[in-house]
Amino acid sequence: MKAAVIQFPGSNCDLDLMYALDQLGFDPELVDHNATDLSDYDAIFLPGGFSFGDYLRSGAVARFSPIIEALKAEDAKGKIIVGICNGFQILTEAGLLPGQLMMNEHPGFICDEVDLQIENGDSNFSKQYDTNKINLPVAHGEGRYVANDATIKQLEANHQVIFKYLTNVNGSTNQIAGITNQRGNVFGMMPHPERAIEAVISSTDGKAFFTSILNK
């Protein structure tokens, strides 16, 4: 599966993501945020970091990059699009996912490993898991997922919530950690599965996230 990893000014998890994708059977390439065509790729990944220095708010400037219109064109085709941490923030700012990522409930940067519940094990991003509980790293200052009541009800009713925190990590509504759009091809999460593919650095709980995409 040919995968694009989008580099924004300030991206700092792009090479981590490239390594994970390469190790797990993808054919990844780095793509600059000024690119205007993503049609050659089977899946598109937006990595973590601090795009454009997180000025205004996380993802708010990146949403005006030329690559966003190309993302929207591939979304219309049903292509897999994944945003991790800052990538999730960019997807919400661009309107490709509902809701908003806000400052953590207790202001400050959280760097930890957290337990997650798999709420929907049949999605393109979770179906290779043989457990309903995993542990992944988090590293964010603006990771609190919020949305209006109607949006939250829709997300829950349509099984668009894929992962939830098992504890109150950042104040996210319903402890939501990762969601898809209604069609199920666009996904965003704050935890970092790319940092959990080798036991020597933390765990291997991120591997099935990527193999789920490969076997969608």
Angle at 114 between CA 5 and CA 30, to 5 degrees: 5
Spatial distance between the Cα atoms of 187 and 161, rounded to a whole number of angstroms: 10
Question: How high is the pLDDT of residue 202?
Answer: 78
Continuous segment of H or E residues that includes residue 71: helix 67-76
Spatial distance between the Cα atoms of 198 and 68, rounded to a whole number of angstroms: 32
Query: Residues of 171-189 as b/e, b for ≥16 C-beta within 10 angstroms?
Result: bbbebbbbbbbeebbbbbb
**Residue 57 scores a pLDDT above 90:** no
Predicted model pTM: 0.97
**Residue 92 scores a pLDDT above 90:** yes
Of all residues in the chain, the percent with pLDDT exceeding 90 is: 96
Angle at 79 between CA 52 and CA 162, to 5 degrees: 80
**Residue 40 scores a pLDDT above 90:** yes
Check 33, 93, 142, 192 and give the catalytic one: 192
Q: Are strands 176-180 and 186-189 parallel, antiparallel or unpaired?
A: antiparallel
**Residue 56 or residue 4, greater confidence:** 4
Spatial distance between the Cα atoms of 86 and 51, rounded to a whole number of angstroms: 7
Angle at 21 between CA 201 and CA 158, to 5 degrees: 100
DSSP annotation of 175 reads G
Would you call 49 helix, strand, or coil by DSSP? strand
Q: How confident is the model at residue 81 (pLDDT cuts 50, 70, 90)?
A: very high
Mind listing the pLDDT tens digit for each residue in 123-161?
A: 999 999 999 999 999 999 999 999 999 999 999 999 999
Mind listing the pLDDT tens digit for each residue in 23-32?
A: 999 999 999 9
Of all residues in the chain, the percent with pLDDT exceeding 70 is: 100
Task: Determine whether 194 is an active site residue.
Answer: yes
CATH code given to domain 2-214 = 3.40.50.880
Query: What are 117's two structure tokens?
Result: 């519940």
Instruction: Tell me the CA distances in angstroms from 44 to 27, 88, 142, 154, 170, one per residue in order.
Output: 11, 13, 23, 25, 27
Task: Determine whether 33 is an active site residue.
Answer: no
Task: Determine whether 106 is an active site residue.
Answer: no
Mind listing the pLDDT tens digit for each residue in 95-112?
A: 999 999 999 999 999 999
- Dihedral, 121, 125, 130, 131 alpha carbons, nearest 10: -70
Question: How high is the pLDDT of residue 3?
Answer: 98
Question: How high is the pLDDT of residue 216?
Answer: 82
Would you call 8 helix, strand, or coil by DSSP? coil
Check 74, 85, 119, 142 and give the catalytic one: 85
Mind listing the pLDDT tens digit for each residue in 157-177?
A: 999 999 999 999 999 999 999
Could you tell me the end-to-end alpha-carbon distance of the chain, in angstroms, rounded to an integer?
11
Q: What does the pLDDT average to over 198-216?
A: 93
Angle at 39 between CA 17 and CA 183, to 5 degrees: 75
